[in-house]
Structure 1
Amino acid sequence: MSGFTSELFHRRVPQFFLFYLGASWVVVEFTDWLANRYLLSNNLVDMVLVGMFSLVPAVLLLAWTHGARGKDRWTRAEKIGIPLNVLVTTGLLVSMFHGKELGAAAEEVMILDEQGQTVEHLVPKPAFRRKVAVFFFDNEGVLPEDDWLQYGMTQLLVTDLSQDRFIGVWNPWGGFENSNFAYIRRAGYDDGTNVPLTLLQSVASKYYQQFFVTGEFTRVGDDYVFTAQLYSVDPARLVSEHEVRGRDPMRLADLLSTKIQEEIVLVEGTEEINPDLPVAELLTNSMIALKHFVDGRMSLLLDNDQEAAIAHLQAAVEVDPTFALAYALLAQVYQVVGNTSEALVATKQAMQHDYKLLQDTRFRLKSLDYFLQGQMDKFVRVIEMWTELQPDNPEAHTQMAFVYMFIGDQREKALESFARARDLGEDFVLMWEAKLHEANRDMDKALAAYRQFAESFPEDHTPWVYVGRLYRREGDLDQAREATERAALLGSNFVTPLVDLAELELREGRLDEAWFNLENAVEVAKDDGQLAVVTGKIVDWHDAQGQMQLASEAVDEYLELIRRTQNPVNFLAITSRELRHYVKANRLDDALARLQEFEGKIQPPFNRFIDLGYMGIYLEAKQPDLAEERLLLVEEFLREMQRDDYAFVIPLSRGAILYQRGDLAGARENLEEASALFDTSIHSAFGEEDRSVRLCLLLLAEITRKQGDLEAAGSHLAEVLKVWPWNATANLVLAQLRVAEGRDDEAREALERALYMWANADPDYDLAQEARDLLASL
């Protein structure tokens, strides 16, 4: 044995080192046990391991100087080396673990439920949750009857993985108005299958996911063979690939889910708080019921076919009456088709078996149940609970924002919720934030939000469409045109920029140019939804020229397209808004018949849109008594639903009724109130100024002119003409004002603009004849 080795043993350095290793192992194991027992961060274990390892030099130095038997003295090397080692260790730990969560991975949260009861929940901290997107699988076999499993396996994996509270699962059918799937469909993959990995990674990145799962399957004899790939998002790379084989897709989903969980979880020892049931226990044991459920869900996502969805979902619950998720989805579909009673039956059936539902689904279900019952306070409280218990769920915060925005008009809270959803990856909410800023008349913040949207989606035309509309609303038509033309360059395959360009041409009196854009938009339209957008503007093109017969015929086509692309409740709401064109074309009976078709089919509360439609028809037909009867019902409906955002509708309608009765003072008071309410209403930012503002301001101009308040009349007209300089009706009213002021030359100019727009008006269009008579009298 060499002299140095002998000296090491004499000073007992190996013994002390082995003892230190053993003690370190005990400390690390104890820390690991603590982390598992109390759901502490695994970073804590890593930090202890790094710290113990980095202190080895100090241990060796101590053993060397003090390991030999007998009395020892502290040396200069120890006095410098040990503090230096401790300092280096401290610096190493700070550099490696600064900013990392070292405490508990979950926290106890006490919240009040909708009944006012205090409930305790264990909520994972966002830092410890992993986010994974699960996309559709590809069928690489030859049996088309297996195609449903392309979506079925995704449903199974999403459900199974979602049991883990430390995993946030993104799915293709989620998001506001199916916004998740929109990015895939927009790229040309209409059924969501056989999508390139680059696009999947891009979509996952847009939603701030950390991982994404895709895969394929085939048949080998009677067995299914599923292969799933787990990719990291940033950087994009394959993390692992797993293949499972067997006859039961549900069991195969359980196996794949377990393998994926093992790859991505950050916290160990969560078994005591995380359920890990077989996915069949959460959905159904019946493959037949599961297939009906998946077919129903995809009928909605791919075809917007509510009838087919209802048929499939009904079949699913007939096969398995305990299929809670099928009942929950069925309730949602019944809601959008306006069948409230069946929706309530479905919610009750789902809640009877809610032990099979995941937490977020229970929140959606309970909130829907309270909404359908009209218990709005409890409806709001349930959504608030959802955000408190799932603070990193962007859908929860998005829904909370919409609740704040449309119920009680709590805009600041809505902006906070949208900001939180955006922080969690829902960049599309920037559009809604901008709309809120527009409604608050803070155009700088609105433009900043739209431009941030454009930076997030540099190849998307949508933000520039909204920028154009903002400038259009402000009356800056040149800036509006510049932004809209930019949108048209980015979105050459979309109709919206062309339709908005047509709108600008129409406002500036360039009828041929407007029609040229509309013809191009028809050529670009890929489906009924896009064609409906174009047809709706064709209605406006005819209406602006006093061609009421052609406008009403275009409405026929427009409503048929809407019927094919919207759910029945939305179809009713849009129909109620458009029937005024029938009345202008002397088709009052057709307008009434259209609304009567909905009676008995749409149930409370959504059937109250029928009253709104009748009120609009009677106002256009100048039947104020019948309009007032419906107004009382509409007012009651808005009050029950706490729709403060529509507060302007009541004084606007009442003002029109009083005007038709000849009560100018009462009409002016109500219309001025409506104008003030509308100017800051959230709906003022959605392009509805084309109808509501024109009606309100033109009536105010007419009333104040008749009252002799010519200055007020001019002010109201200036607001209309700023955003629509060639509006024929506004120019007629302007001409009447100029005549009253003795400014006949300016009256002629206004009448020439009006008659240019009405050059091809219907022969019996009374406003065009009134303009011709006035011009002849000058």
Structure 2
Amino acid sequence: MPTQPSKQKKWLTTLKFLAAYLVAAWTFLQFVDWALNRYSISPYWVDLLLWIFVGIIPSLLIYFYNQDRINKLILKKREKIIFPLNILLIMGVTYIGFGNSDLGATTKSIDYETESGEKRSALITKEEFRTGFYVFPFKPKEVDSSKQWLQFGINYLLVEDLLQNKNLSPEVANANNTQDKVRGAGYFNDYYVDGEFEIKDSTYILTAFIRKSKTAKIINQQTFKGTDVLNIIDDISVFVTDNFTSKEFNRPKYLDINVKEFTSTSLKAIEYFIEKDYTNAVFEDETFALAYLENGKRNLTFNQGKYEERLLADNAYKYRSRLPLQKQGEALILKNLAYDEYNNAEQLVKLQLEVNPSDDTYNRILYNIYGRTKNLKAYTQRAYDAWANKKSVNNGALLIEAALIREDYDYILKQIDLVSLADLNDETVFHLKLRPLILKGDIEEAQKIHDKFKLLHPDLEKMTKVNDIALSYLKNNKPTDEKLQRFEGFYRSNNSEQTYTIWVENNTLLHYTSNQSIMPYILAGDNIIVRGTASSGKTVLKKFYPDEIGEFYIFEHFEYRKDRNYKDWSWKMDDSILQSERLLESNQLDSAKVAYEKAIETNPKHYYLKDALAYINYVKSIDSTALFKQLNEVVGTYGPRKFWMEDGKLFYKRQQMENGRVFPKIELLPISENRYMNLTKIGDHFAFELYNGKPTKSFIYQYSIEDEEWRKSELEGNTFNRSD
């Protein structure tokens, strides 16, 4: 009768088989990894197979130990349970881990049509397989105020350059200390880029570092020298690209335009551009297409003026051939938006999003288009899909807003918890749960989270007080449809052409800002609504004021950030006001006069309606020849102010940026011999001091809403002598 092997010998044999299995599995994985890279197939297969190979080990150990018996198909009860259970667990874990992962090719072919109508196709890397990383500022070794702009200019231009390569997904970030860099980059990326620079005898010396996002450890670095900083940025771009992209022959290749080509050869123009002084940037280089484009996007976002929007869009489109292909697409989209061709813009944006699904610019435009039509289903689904496709800070912020709109509170709370697990010591992410908890009605838990955040960040008191007001109110007051519906309406800014639509959807108060996005607001008082958290960098409070019959007719907007505050007023627009404006815009002055008289009767506190009526009455009281002469006399330069005639209309634009403000092109409408209103910044009147009937000085009156009166500004920058 054969002797049974000892347990020790059986375990030794088992371990030998296991070692052989591990070596074979590891060798196979190395081959698979090589094959996947060479033939552009999803690298997730390596991870999936690794989980399977490791997960099956419990069953293999049992098999190797009892192979003599099992080979004879003699299975004990425990093995009949463990083997299927092991397989089911592996299937469950791999489904959870890889169920939403793309296991196909890392590339895809897209079809597109050129402006000339030619149909083309291109092979691009799918976004899921692009290497994502932040690029932080390059720190100066010595303080030099004249070159300080380079600190934030190098990383901005580097990212613009790198974005041409669709194997990469770089993002600009402006944190300066290591702790903030690690915190920001570590959530969703494995690496980040930063650097340092100095200037010696007109030679730029830049050192770029590629670091691990979790530890800030340098994994590669290189120093570049030269007399042209823009050429050096091109070299750094090559260095970064070589570190983050595969050398395989079938990796998609992309056109790489030099920084000078898609920006400007004028370093002064680029300095103005980095400082967001786009007016002076194009003054230095009138072909600076990227400056026109960025200025146009900003003007469109904040509705500074329709004339300015179209001027900037036209120039960006005119010089678009200097831009990378994706930016050329932005220029065309901007032109369509500026001229209210929203259907064309939507189609173009969707084409661009096939190439860059998570591109912030294109997504903002699409959100804006969906917001205009209150297409909440498409609006929120876009955010959910973007988050599923790519985990990033921007996509996370959009997901929060979308989940609040859907009232999907438990889902977003779970997602925030999952992100928190990436950094258990984080002092910020947990506070993002504040608004979902408030809107869910869990005020007690929301208060605990808010108190913890305030304890950790006492320096953010200005921002956190907005949520203090909401929490204090909601402890004793429950939001109702009746309370929320009081805020509904269509409003316009006192300081720009920006408009706001506020309405109730299900149980949530929603707020759409023209050319921006939809945001959920929280009831914080009988006449107060708020949004935002200090952890996201901005909070907003809107205080509404009732008229004699108790209906809101105006709101005061307070915006708080860490480094600045902002205040504005906005007026509620009813049908009579909107009808008056349409008639005035179409120059139907007789009908507009009747309409404005009716609108003033209905809205007596809307002071600017009286100005529009004054304009109508004035131009009807003066013949066209005398009116043209009056307008033409104004034409000229008064300090930074420029006035000119165009198509029989008088226009104004301040040529200089002031305290970060950019002044739009505005049409001026006469209400007397020396005073002019406008429909862009309705709180400003432009006036002139006359000598022998001719303007010699320019100054501004501003309307005080609190005191309900016009006042001449006594600031030094208000009155300017004519200089031509």
TM-score scaled to structure 2, two decimals? 0.51
**Of 191, 205, 211, which residue of structure 2 is paired with 1:224?**
205
Say which structure is richer in helix. 1
Letter of the aligned partner of 2:501 in structure 1?
A
Letter of the aligned partner of 1:399 in structure 2?
I
Q: CA deviation at 1:449?
A: 0.5
Could you tell me how far apart the structure 2 residues matched to 1:166 and 1:474 are?
A: 61
Q: Residues 405, 223 of structure 1: CA spacing in aligned structure 2 closer, same or farther, 3 A cutoff?
A: closer
Letter of the aligned partner of 1:103 in structure 2?
L
Q: CA deviation at 1:388?
A: 3.5
Could you tell me how far apart the structure 2 residues matched to 1:455 and 1:170 are?
A: 26
Could you tell me how far apart the structure 2 residues matched to 1:374 and 1:86 are?
A: 61
Aligned residues: 508
Contact 2:141-2:196 within 8 A present in 1 as well: yes
Contact 2:266-2:285 within 8 A present in 1 as well: no
Could you tell me how far apart the structure 2 residues matched to 1:449 and 1:82 are?
A: 54
Q: CA deviation at 1:396?
A: 0.5
Letter of the aligned partner of 1:386 in structure 2?
Q
Contact 1:224-1:246 within 8 A present in 2 as well: yes
Contact 1:110-1:120 within 8 A present in 2 as well: yes
Contact 1:55-1:89 within 8 A present in 2 as well: yes
Q: Residues 476, 341 of structure 1: CA spacing in aligned structure 2 closer, same or farther, 3 A cutoff?
A: closer
Residue by residue over 1:381-435, the C-alpha shift from the partner in whole angstroms, topping out at 9 and shown as x without a partner, is: 32232233322223202123435666xx675588458857897256599699999
Q: Residues 475, 195 of structure 1: CA spacing in aligned structure 2 closer, same or farther, 3 A cutoff?
A: farther
Structure-to-structure mapping, 1:721-736, within 5 angstroms: none
Letter of the aligned partner of 1:439 in structure 2?
T
Match of 1:388 in 2: 354
Could you tell me how far apart the structure 2 residues matched to 1:376 and 1:605 are?
A: 27
Contact 2:132-2:170 within 8 A present in 1 as well: yes
Letter of the aligned partner of 2:52 in structure 1?
G
**Of 207, 221, 225, which residue of structure 2 is paired with 1:247?**
225
Confirm or deny that 1:424 pairs with 2:389.
Answer: no
Confirm or deny that 1:312 pairs with 2:290.
Answer: no
Q: CA deviation at 1:52?
A: 2.1
Letter of the aligned partner of 1:442 in structure 2?
V
Q: CA deviation at 1:294?
A: 2.4
Match of 2:47 in 1: 46
Could you tell me how far apart the structure 1 residues matched to 2:265 and 2:118 are?
A: 37
Q: CA deviation at 1:327?
A: 3.7
Could you tell me how far apart the structure 1 residues matched to 2:399 and 2:547 are?
A: 22
SS at match of 2:207: strand
SS at match of 2:25: helix
Could you tell me how far apart the structure 2 residues matched to 1:490 and 1:223 are?
A: 35
Q: CA deviation at 1:364?
A: 0.9
Match of 1:297 in 2: 273
Could you tell me how far apart the structure 2 residues matched to 1:590 and 1:209 are?
A: 64
Confirm or deny that 1:496 pairs with 2:567.
Answer: yes
Q: Residues 117, 237 of structure 1: CA spacing in aligned structure 2 closer, same or farther, 3 A cutoff?
A: same
Match of 1:31 in 2: 32
Q: CA deviation at 1:247?
A: 1.2
Q: Residues 424, 584 of structure 1: CA spacing in aligned structure 2 closer, same or farther, 3 A cutoff?
A: farther
Q: Residues 605, 33 of structure 1: CA spacing in aligned structure 2 closer, same or farther, 3 A cutoff?
A: farther
Could you tell me how far apart the structure 1 residues matched to 2:308 and 2:260 are?
A: 28
Letter of the aligned partner of 2:291 in structure 1?
L
Match of 2:160 in 1: 159
Residue by residue over 1:299-339, the C-alpha shift from the partner in whole angstroms, topping out at 9 and shown as x without a partner, is: 5x1xx350x2114334xx7xxxxxxxx44435666997969
Q: Residues 411, 478 of structure 1: CA spacing in aligned structure 2 closer, same or farther, 3 A cutoff?
A: closer
Say which structure is richer in strand. 2
Identity %: 14
Match of 1:535 in 2: none
Could you tell me how far apart the structure 2 residues matched to 1:391 and 1:493 are?
A: 33
SS at match of 2:366: helix
Q: CA deviation at 1:347?
A: 3.9
Contact 1:228-1:243 within 8 A present in 2 as well: yes
Could you tell me how far apart the structure 2 residues matched to 1:138 and 1:340 are?
A: 38
SS at match of 2:357: coil
**Of 512, 522, 525, which residue of structure 2 is paired with 1:451?**
522
Could you tell me how far apart the structure 2 residues matched to 1:578 and 1:168 are?
A: 55
Q: CA deviation at 1:28?
A: 1.8
**Of 468, 483, 505, which residue of structure 1 is paired with 2:543?**
468
Contact 1:328-1:346 within 8 A present in 2 as well: yes
Q: CA deviation at 1:158?
A: 0.2
SS at match of 1:449: strand
Could you tell me how far apart the structure 2 residues matched to 1:577 and 1:237 are?
A: 65
SS at match of 1:137: strand
Q: CA deviation at 1:45?
A: 0.5
Moved more, 431-440 or 43-52: 431-440
Could you tell me how far apart the structure 1 residues matched to 2:648 and 2:628 are?
A: 25
Q: CA deviation at 1:8?
A: 6.5
Match of 1:563 in 2: none
Letter of the aligned partner of 2:103 in structure 1?
G
Letter of the aligned partner of 1:245 in structure 2?
T
TM-score scaled to structure 1, two decimals? 0.48
Structure-to-structure mapping, 1:194-205, within 5 angstroms: 195-196=176-177
Contact 2:628-2:648 within 8 A present in 1 as well: no
Q: CA deviation at 1:255?
A: 6.9
Could you tell me how far apart the structure 1 residues matched to 2:190 and 2:564 are?
A: 31
Mark the runs of 5 or more structure 2 residues left unpaired by the alignment. 300-306, 388-393, 406-487, 492-499, 512-518, 524-528, 573-602, 637-641, 654-663, 674-678, 685-704, 712-724
Contact 2:231-2:259 within 8 A present in 1 as well: no
Contact 1:214-1:229 within 8 A present in 2 as well: yes
Q: CA deviation at 1:298?
A: 2.2
Q: Residues 546, 379 of structure 1: CA spacing in aligned structure 2 closer, same or farther, 3 A cutoff?
A: closer
Q: Residues 410, 450 of structure 1: CA spacing in aligned structure 2 closer, same or farther, 3 A cutoff?
A: closer
Could you tell me how far apart the structure 2 residues matched to 1:476 and 1:459 are?
A: 35
Contact 1:133-1:211 within 8 A present in 2 as well: yes
SS at match of 2:216: strand
Could you tell me how far apart the structure 1 residues matched to 2:563 and 2:315 are?
A: 46
Q: CA deviation at 1:149?
A: 3.2
Cα RMSD, aligned residues only: 6.5
SS at match of 2:151: helix
Contact 1:148-1:291 within 8 A present in 2 as well: no
Residue by residue over 1:696-743, the C-alpha shift from the partner in whole angstroms, topping out at 9 and shown as x without a partner, is: xxxxxxxxxxxxxxxxxxxxxxxxxxxxxxx99xxxxxxxxxxxxxxx
SS at match of 2:260: coil
Confirm or deny that 1:363 pairs with 2:329.
Answer: yes
Contact 1:168-1:393 within 8 A present in 2 as well: no
Contact 1:400-1:414 within 8 A present in 2 as well: no
SS at match of 2:139: strand
Contact 1:134-1:169 within 8 A present in 2 as well: yes
Match of 1:88 in 2: 86
SS at match of 2:253: coil
